[in-house]
Amino acid sequence: MQIASLLLVKICKNFFLHPKNLLTLKIKSIYYGSMIPLIKPTIVRKDLEYVLNCLITERLEEGELAREFEKSVANFVGAKDAVATNSFTSAMHLALLALDIKPDDEIIISAYADLPVINAISYTGAKPVPIDIEPDTFNIDAEKVKKKITEKTKAVIVSNKFGIPSDIDEFLSLPISVIEDCSYALGAEYNSSVKEKFAKIGSFGLLSVFSFDTDTIITTGNGGMIVSNSRDIITKAKKHKFNPFKVPENYKVQYDYRMQDVTAALGLSQMKLINKFIARRIELANYYNQRFMKSKYKIYREDSDKKSVYSKYTLLVDGSLKKTIETLRRHKIMAKRPIEMPALLSLNLNEEEYPNTAHAYHKLMEIPIYPSLKKKEIESIADNVLKVL
């Protein structure tokens, strides 16, 4: 068996990893064609080796690699512990369960929150209470949150939209639990008065939830994680997560939200390159900023107390969003709304009561930004975006 495994490793490495036969490159070229895709995960040779080595062990279920991945992310963020899951929705659901959220409790969210947040709250039976966003950062407005807290309010989910940190200090003094939604903000930093210097987003709230989808800073294909400095929170989350090796004395519902080791292997490999990924995204964002600064497009303006990781690059369109997107696609450039189904739509909210969210939904567009973008591609994107005006 050992000889067969070693032979398989050699064959697979020669076939998949040889520069002339790199299968992923062939697949990408067939799939994407001449179109510049909106999203493109950065998969490198080392990622393939990590995953292949995991496959060879024939232990694909959640185990040692998932634990290592949890430690890697927790250490990077600056937190004590973490719980890996198979999706962001699963992680958010476990986070709410760890806070003992019950039916009829109220959870304050952004009116620009995406469906996974709404779904996770629905699983608990709690009531989502939407709040309008800030017009410049697209994050939930802290001043409006303060006015909506009632006796039933148990938590607020603080967004860090598109890698832009929220003003987390404004939320930490509230008499409710703070959940940081860091789905697109792994590596983002905030200069908080609570800490001596810039600290990573995800290290401030009682607990934080991350996503590792294909359009996030690092990817595992899918996957999520809860990160916290509270051992009690992590312990509670783990009790709700199915563990085949620990059977509770008294039956309680558990959720099979495990992250397989083969998935964690990719995440571990990606974490080794996260600083390079972020640096490249900032480099690309700076190029876009220079090109669009004096145009009619409204872009995010840097804040000295915030360090964005630009998981998405967004532009507020002056004219028709639909026509702008269609024009770019005719020029082989993918673009779209960054959030297709925000709470504004899924909860059937009155747009007049959430004007900033409505404006973002109708006018905000995202364009490609990922580490593997070539110089010719980013120049073509900027040129064509400006031609639409």
pLDDT tens track for 165-217: 999 999 999 999 999 999 999 999 999 988 768 999 999 999 999 999 999 99
Q: What is the Cα–Cα distance from 195 to 2, expressed in whole angstroms?
A: 51
- 52 inside domain: no
Question: How many other C-beta atoms are found inside a 10 Å radius of the C-beta of residue 335?
Answer: 25
Write phi, then psi, for 384 (nearest 5 degrees). -75, -35
**Over residues 347-371, mean pLDDT:** 98
How far is Cα of residue 162 from the mean position of the Cα atoms in its chain? Answer: 8
**Over residues 31-49, mean pLDDT:** 87
Are 295 and 264 part of one and the same domain?
Answer: no
Q: How many CA atoms lie within 13 A of 292 on its CB side?
A: 28
181: nearest Cα among 192, 191, 194, 171? 171
Res 248: pLDDT: 66
Write phi, then psi, for 252 (nearest 5 degrees). -135, 145
Write phi, then psi, for 83 (nearest 5 degrees). -130, 120
- 39 inside domain: no
Query: What 8-state DSSP symbol labels residue 262?
Result: H
Instruction: State whether residue 261 is helix, strand or coil.
Output: helix
Are 217 and 177 part of one and the same domain?
Answer: yes
Query: 205: domain CATH number?
Result: 3.40.640.10
Q: Which residue has the higher pLDDT, 316 or 58?
A: 316
Question: Got the DSSP string for 109-136?
Answer: EETT--HHHHHHHHHHT-EEEEEPBPTT
Distances (CA, A) of 148 to 128, 130, 216, 221, 358: 12, 9, 31, 37, 19
Distances (CA, A) of 149 to 146, 154, 155, 274: 6, 9, 9, 37
Of 242, 271, 300, which residue sits at a domain end?
A: 271
Q: What is the Cα–Cα distance from 373 to 375, expressed in whole angstroms?
A: 7
pLDDT above 70 as % of the chain? 91
Are 195 and 326 part of one and the same domain?
Answer: no
Cβ within 8 Å of residue 283, ≥6 positions away: none
Q: Please tell me the total count of domains within the chain.
A: 3
Determine the straight-line distance between the first and last CA of the chain, rounded to whole angstroms. Answer: 64
Check pLDDT > 90 for residue 364: yes
Res 26: pLDDT: 47
Are 9 and 152 part of one and the same domain?
Answer: no
Res 246: pLDDT: 74
- 247 inside domain: yes
Check pLDDT > 70 for residue 62: yes
Are 87 and 211 part of one and the same domain?
Answer: yes
Q: Which residue has the higher pLDDT, 188 or 20?
A: 188
pLDDT tens track for 115-154: 999 999 999 999 999 999 999 999 999 999 999 999 999 9
Q: What is the Cα–Cα distance from 76 to 188, expressed in whole angstroms?
A: 11
For residue 356, the enclosing domain spans: 275-388
Residue 209's identity, in one-letter code, is V
**H or E element at residue 31:** helix 23-32
Mean pLDDT comparison of 29-33, 52-56, 376-380, highest-scoring range: 376-380
Q: What is the Cα–Cα distance from 254 to 245, expressed in whole angstroms?
A: 13
Query: What 8-state DSSP symbol labels residue 296?
Result: S
- 40 inside domain: no
Are 121 and 141 part of one and the same domain?
Answer: yes
Produce one character per residue of 133-162: b if its CB has 16 or more CB atoms within 10 Å, e if not: bbeebbbbbbebbeeeeeeebbbbbbbbbb
Of 228, 251, 271, which residue sits at a domain end?
A: 271
- 174 inside domain: yes
Res 251: pLDDT: 78
Check pLDDT > 70 for residue 12: no
Strands across the sheet containing 189-191: 198-200, 189-191, 306-307
